[in-house]
Amino acid sequence: MTKFPIFLSDSVQSIFFKLVFSQSANNIKSHFRMDKTWMQELKESPTSMFLLSLSAYLVYKIGCDLLRKDEPPPKPLEPLKQDMTLNELKKYTGLDASVDKRICLGIKDEIFEVTRGKNFYGPDGPYSCFAGREASRCFATFSKDEDDIPEGRDDLTDLNADQKSSLNDWYENISSKYPKVGKIIYTPEDEIKKTK
Ligand code: HEM
């Protein structure tokens, strides 16, 4: 069989040729009859409409494949391994190009890279308030209010049993899904700012 000069599996090529050059030939001829416009013909023939849509889809796919071949694949980033202060963690909200727009969050004083979950934690995500923060209190109290996260160290001693259990469940969830980066380093200033 005649081959396309680009990558397409044999089965896709075979379907394309059969549809476009054999079965559709009669339909195409009738499209150009003078007594009806091709638009009317199309409306009256679901088969033709289907074949035309399929052809348009295949042309679109071929175009996309060709364009994609020209793009270099994105460079995979090295795993991030680093203990951080609360201040350093603040950069990791998905907006800072100096840290490759990575996203990290803290839970139970450990840092996880959640860039893979940017639909959740990225700037437009529903949980963007956790990005770049030690968000244990929000996980414990099931809150999305960033005002619940203190500026300094949060010792969490006021949490009740249910809240501690909720925090532990979220820790299991996050730590099973995302790579660990390191631990939070608390500075003397963070201890002073401790509010809870
Ligand atoms: C009406 C309230 C809420 C609804 C309907 C809701 C619903 C959802 C849904 C459907 C997902 C996606 C789950 C998945 O695809 O795996 C999700 C993820 C998540 N939710 Fe909520 N949520 C709500 C409130 C909250 C609150 C208050 C928190 C605060 C702790 C929260 C924390 C999260 C987190 C952290 C994730 C992402 C987990 C991951 O990284 O995979 N959600 N939520």
- For residue range 131-159, what is the model confidence (pLDDT) as tens digits? 999 999 999 999 999 888 988 999 999 99
The residue to mutate among 108, 120, 175, 177, having the most atoms of ligand 1 within 8 angstroms of its beta carbon, is 120
13 pLDDT higher than 80? no
Q: 148 and 181 share a domain?
A: yes
Same domain as 88, residue 179: yes
CA dihedral angle for residue 147, residue 148, residue 151, residue 155, rounded to 10 degrees: 170
Interval between CA 193 and ligand 1 midpoint (Å): 29
In SS3 terms, 144-167 reads as: CCHHHCCCCCCCCCCCCHHHHHHH
- Alpha carbons 107 and 161: distance in angstroms, whole number: 17
Q: Are residues 177 and 97 located together in one domain of the fold?
A: yes
Atom of ligand 1 nearest to the CA of 135: 30
Measured in Å, residue 153 CA sits from the centre of ligand 1 at: 25
Query: Number of folded domains in the chain?
Result: 2
Q: Are residues 28 and 117 in the same domain?
A: no
Residue 75 lies in a domain: no
Do 176 and 141 fall into the same domain? yes
Are 22 and 46 contained in the same domain? yes
Domain encompassing residue 131:
84-192
- When pLDDT is averaged across residues 3-14 and rounded to a whole number, the result is 56
Q: Is residue 119 part of a domain?
A: yes
Residues 137 and 165 reside in one and the same domain: yes
**89 and 140 part of one domain:** yes
Whether 79 maps to a domain, the answer reads no
More confident residue, 163 or 1: 163
**pLDDT at residue 133, rounded to an integer:** 97
Considering the domain architecture, whether residues 48 and 126 belong to the same structural domain is answered as: no
What's the gap in Å between 136 CA and the centre of ligand 1? 15
Residue 2 lies in a domain: no
Question: Do the Cβ atoms of 111 and 181 come closer than 8 Å?
Answer: yes
Closest CA to 90 of 80, 103, 108: 103
More confident site: 63 or 122: 122
- Asked if residue 4 is part of any domain, the answer here is no
With respect to residue 25, please indicate whether it lies within any of the assigned structural domains: yes
User: What helix, strand, coil percent values describe the chain, rounded to 5?
Assistant: 50, 10, 40
